């Protein structure tokens, strides 16, 4: 969706803009910083370089750090930074995996390690195409919330790769696929529970759905009131238009067929009925 353009020469000084966000690694050290000026936005990302883009344009310029490979810059930008840039430019982005059902896109949200990528990949065994691995970009079109395709490569953890008989080298990239925007029909908030023998699915009321979805939102600028107002308004609209479920399940692979079957049943119900099948309603 975005074009990445490599630039030689001196790196522009992002400090000339207003610092609007920062991201930390697992040790609490700054991994990336975001800045905004009158005409340009910048992302200064450790180990990659400085990325600059302007409002209304789909080209992102990058000044890579010395000795960093272009492949690493492109891969990391596509997976981690492109959703942030798109969010700054007017879309919204969920930290989520996703699959395409016959009725539309299903999104899987949750904490790191909760199975988002594994479930999105596993649904291919039911004939459903994987749509996203880690970031899902959304576009709001009247009463419809549309999921926008981005190139990705499935990123499975070692145990999942072993279960599916995959290696890092043979996981297929979606970069060459020509997909169109597809309606988002359901969001599942994943929670693993070793004590369950069958999945437990509950439909969230809109107020709770909004607050829990917001925790998984990408946000470029946390200080600009107009930016945050648009973020809140869009997620209120998302919670009002798309059913959001809690989905508790046992992560053992022997239960995976039951898990995918439950997702298929609920997805079919959410697309055809105002009261989805096989669920409870949380207060």
Residue of higher predicted confidence among 275 and 99: 99
CA distance linking residue 121 with residue 133, whole number of Å: 8
What integer pLDDT is reported at residue 175 of this predicted model? 45
pLDDT mean over 105-129: 89
What integer pLDDT is reported at residue 270 of this predicted model? 55
What are the structural domain ranges in the chain?
A: 1-89, 91-283
Share of the chain above pLDDT 70, in %: 88
Read off the pLDDT band of 267 (50, 70, 90): confident
Cα-based distances in Å from 113 to 34, 116, 176: 26, 8, 28
At 124-173, the pLDDT tens digits run 888 898 999 889 999 998 889 999 998 888 877 888 888 888 765 555 65
Task: Round the average pLDDT of the chain to a whole number and report it.
Answer: 86
pLDDT mean over 236-264: 94
CA distance linking residue 200 with residue 250, whole number of Å: 10
pLDDT at 63 over 70: yes
CA distance linking residue 233 with residue 197, whole number of Å: 38
CA-wise closest residue to 157 among 169, 149, 168: 168
At 65-97, the pLDDT tens digits run 989 999 999 989 988 899 999 999 999 999 999
Show Cβ contacts of residue 158 under 8 Å, excluding neighbours closer than 6 positions.
none
pLDDT mean over 8-17: 70
pLDDT at 8 over 60: yes
At 39-60, the pLDDT tens digits run 789 999 999 999 999 988 899 9
pLDDT mean over 213-230: 93
Range 91-283 has CATH code 1.25.40: no
Residue of higher predicted confidence among 55 and 196: 196
Look up the pTM and report it.
0.87
């Amino acid at each position: 969706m975005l074009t990445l353009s490599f630039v030689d020469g001196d790196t522009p000084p992002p400090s000339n803009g207003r610092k609007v966000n920062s991201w930390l690694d697992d040790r609490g050290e700054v991994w990336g910083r975001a800045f905004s000026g009158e005409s340009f936005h910048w992302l200064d990302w450790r180990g990659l370089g400085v990325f600059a883009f302007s409002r209304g344009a789909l080209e992102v310029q990058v000044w890579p750090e010395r000795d960093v490979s272009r492949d690493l810059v492109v891969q990391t930008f596509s997976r981690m930074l492109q959703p942030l840039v798109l969010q700054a430019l007017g879309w919204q982005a969920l930290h989520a995996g996703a699959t395409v059902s016959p009725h539309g896109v299903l999104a899987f949200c949750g904490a790191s390690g909760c199975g988002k990528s594994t479930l999105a990949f596993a649904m291919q065994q039911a004939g459903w195409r994987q749509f996203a691995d880690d970031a899902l970009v959304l576009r709001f079109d009247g009463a419809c919330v549309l999921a926008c395709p981005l190139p990705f490569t499935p990123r499975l953890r070692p145990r999942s790769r072993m279960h599916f008989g995959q290696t890092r080298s043979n996981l297929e990239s979606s970069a060459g696929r020509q997909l169109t925007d597809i309606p988002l029909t359901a969001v599942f908030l994943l929670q693993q529970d070793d004590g369950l023998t069958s999945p437990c699915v509950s439909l969230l009321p809109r107020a709770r759905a909004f607050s829990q979805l917001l925790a998984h939102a990408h946000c470029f600028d946390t200080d600009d009131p107009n930016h945050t107002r648009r973020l809140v308004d869009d997620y209120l609209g998302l919670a009002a238009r798309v059913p959001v479920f809690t989905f508790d399940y046992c992560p053992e692979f022997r239960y995976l067929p039951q898990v995918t079957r439950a997702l298929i049943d609920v997805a079919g119900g959410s697309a055809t009925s105002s009261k989805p099948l096989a669920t409870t309603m949380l207060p």
